Structure 1
Amino acid sequence: MTKWLILGVAILLEVTATLSLRGAIDNPWWAVLAVGGYAGAFVALSLLLRLGVPIGIVYGIWAAAGVVLTAVIASVIFGEPFTFLIGLGIAIVIAGVVLVETGHRSPKPARTEASS
């Protein structure tokens, strides 16, 4: 459970940082939040790797969730377009993460028959 919490924090920090970059267009002080958010996200990601979570899982979920949340929130906050193609792209990204995650699961060991 702790690993999922840390991953959630990393995702929220990255999304906050990315959205802050957009906000920095109008007010440069938002860049400070962007730098802090990215730094915190990378600290959280490195902690997950130290806890033994495979990098393909960590990065895949982090990046995909960041893309999805950033697109949705930017549409709501900044009025950026959210088209059918963006939605389709998000679906493809999610499908890709699911495939990567299921590919990391270790197969069950083959049973060996005892020699008689």
Structure 2
Amino acid sequence: MKKWAILGAAIVAEVAAALALRAAIDDPGWAVLTVTGYIGAFVALSTLLRAGAPIGVVYGIWAAAGVALTAVLGTVLFDEPFTLLIGIGIAVVIAGVVLVETGSHHERPQESLERAEVAR
């Protein structure tokens, strides 16, 4: 459960940084949140990797959630377009993450052989 909380914090930090980057176009003061958010996101991601979380899964979830949330919040906060193609793109990204997550739980052939040898 702690890993999910850290991943959630990384997602929130990255989305805040991306939105602040957009806001910095009109007010450069937002650049501070941009830098802070990205630093926080990468610290959280590195914490997850040190804890043994697989990089493909962690990065996939982080990136997909970041893309989806940034697109939706960009529409709400900055009146940016949200088209059918953007929605389809987000769905494809999410589907890709689901496939990576599902595939990460399959045992490697070498691990299967090692377990069979230990069982003898």
For residues 63-88 of structure 1, the C-alpha deviation after alignment (integer angstroms, 9 at most, x for no partner) is: 00000000000000100000000000
What's the counterpart of residue 61 of structure 2? 61
Please report the TM-score for the alignment, with normalisation by the length of structure 1: 0.92
What's the counterpart of residue 74 of structure 2? 74
What's the counterpart of residue 88 of structure 2? 88
For residues 16-64 of structure 1, the C-alpha deviation after alignment (integer angstroms, 9 at most, x for no partner) is: 0000000000000100100000000000000000100000011000000
Aligned residues: CA RMSD? 1.9
> Following TM superposition, where does structure 1 have runs of at least 4 consecutive aligned residues deviating by more than 6 angstroms?
none
In 1: Cα distance, 2:27 partner to 2:107 partner: 51
Give unpaired runs (5+ residues) of structure 1: none
Give unpaired runs (5+ residues) of structure 2: none
Aligned length: 114
What's the counterpart of residue 101 of structure 1? 101
Please report the TM-score for the alignment, with normalisation by the length of structure 2: 0.89
State the percentage of identical aligned residues. 68
2:50 paired with 1:50: yes
